[in-house]
């Protein structure tokens, strides 16, 4: 019998590890959300690019911590966030912001 999935062949997570990964994931969600709000408010192109950079880094944290938690459902949600982030970058409107905020809320509910 073979074991497959995100935690295959790895030792089980300790409760401390799980807590640390979960806190880091929540921090990434918060950082992404705050940068998104500021990016949408800003009229300065350079500031918008800086906020988008922060969102990209926060998305990396989300992916790393989801892998650490061995949660495919979070990785799939992160993929949705990444797709909607790309669409937001192309149009930067309130609809794109709203969709991304809903994505972040869905990720929070999965924890």
pLDDT tops 80 at residue 64: yes
pTM of the model: 0.87
What is the average pLDDT value for the chain, to the nearest integer? 91
Q: Across residues 17-38, what is the average pLDDT?
A: 97
Asked if residues 23 and 46 have their Cβ atoms less than 8 Å apart, the reply is no
- CA 31 vs. chain centroid, Å, equals 9
pLDDT tops 60 at residue 38: yes
Give domain limits for the chain.
15-110
């Amino acid at each position: 019998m073979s074991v497959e999935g995100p935690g295959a062949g790895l030792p089980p997570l300790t409760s401390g590890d799980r807590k640390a990964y979960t806190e880091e994931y929540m921090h990434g969600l918060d950082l992404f959300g705050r940068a998104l709000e500021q990016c949408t408010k800003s009229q300065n192109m350079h500031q918008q690019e800086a906020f988008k950079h922060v969102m990209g880094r926060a998305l990396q944290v989300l992916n790393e911590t989801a892998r650490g938690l061995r949660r495919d459902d979070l990785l799939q949600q992160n993929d949705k966030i990444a797709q909607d982030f790309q669409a937001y970058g192309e149009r930067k409107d309130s609809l794109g912001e709203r969709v991304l905020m809903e994505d972040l809320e869905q990720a929070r509910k999965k924890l």
